Amino acid sequence: MDTEKLRRLLTDAQSGRVSVDEALERLRALPFDDLGYAQLDLHRGLRQGIPEVVFCQGKTHEHVAGIFERLFAHHDRVLGTRATPEMAAYAQARLPDARYDPLSRLLSLSRAAPVAHTDDEPYALVACAGTADLPVAEEAAQTLDFFGGRVVRAFDVGVAGIHRLFNRQDDIRNASVIISVAGMEGALTSVIGGLAACPVVGVPTSVGYGASFGGLAALLAMLNSCAAGVSVVNIDNGFGAAVVAHRILTAARNCTN
């Protein structure tokens, strides 16, 4: 249950539209729901502003679908990361409204209307070095979008053709937070870090030839960036970067209200 849903329930109970007993019944499952194979954290949306997200990798198809069903009984939106096409097909057979994006590998279910954004609203810029980094970049961008954040994309702007990045300097200058996704030597993040005034979240990817060591070279390069104000998440962790960016965007929106 998220903050807004709880607020509506308490308001309805206060006005008499919902009885006290009915309100208690809806709250009875808090703070978690024990499925036997999973204990769902139903308070996370109240604590952190976003509900629990399902990490699908390693789970059975039945467990993914079952977790989605139970979370959707308590929340208006459910998101799963690292879902395979087979997992998604199984979940969609039980939950026809579920949506799957094979590029980002995100599985989602929502009864809430999409958030409308204005041009003066704070935004996150999601930049990636090359097309091979798109799965991780889209995981970050679509996660942010799912959480209600405004997202601007700058894709295929790596240092091998750095003029492409310079063409996006207005987007860099006006962003409230930037997610920089890069494999190989991970140089894009340092370059963006040297141009941007806002926080920069580096996401190293496992893209590259042998000596990139599955993203380790990019990870170490970002950790050793000479540009101040750069933080780094784990290899291929677009979701983790999106959560950081979401919190920064939330703070920026609160400051402008």
With respect to residue 119, please indicate whether it lies within any of the assigned structural domains.
no
Higher pLDDT, 132 or 52: 132
> How many structural domains are present in the chain?
2
Instruction: Indicate whether 105 and 128 sit together in one domain.
Output: no
Range of the domain at 163: 124-256
Whether residues 133 and 101 fall in one domain = no
- Residue 83 maps to a domain: yes
Sole residue written with tokens 């609203």: 121
Helix orientation angle between 134-146 and 238-256, rounded to the nearest 10 degrees:
40
Query: What band does 113 get if pLDDT is binned at 50, 70 and 90?
Result: confident
Q: HSE on the CB side for 120, CA within 13 Å? A: 2
Look at residue 91 and tell me if it is in a domain: yes
**Which structure tokens are listed for 40?**
């769902």
Mean pLDDT for 49-70 is 92
In degrees, rounded to 5, the angle at the alpha carbon of residue 33 between the alpha carbons of residues 72 and 56 is 60
- pTM across the whole model: 0.85
Same structural domain, 194 and 98: no
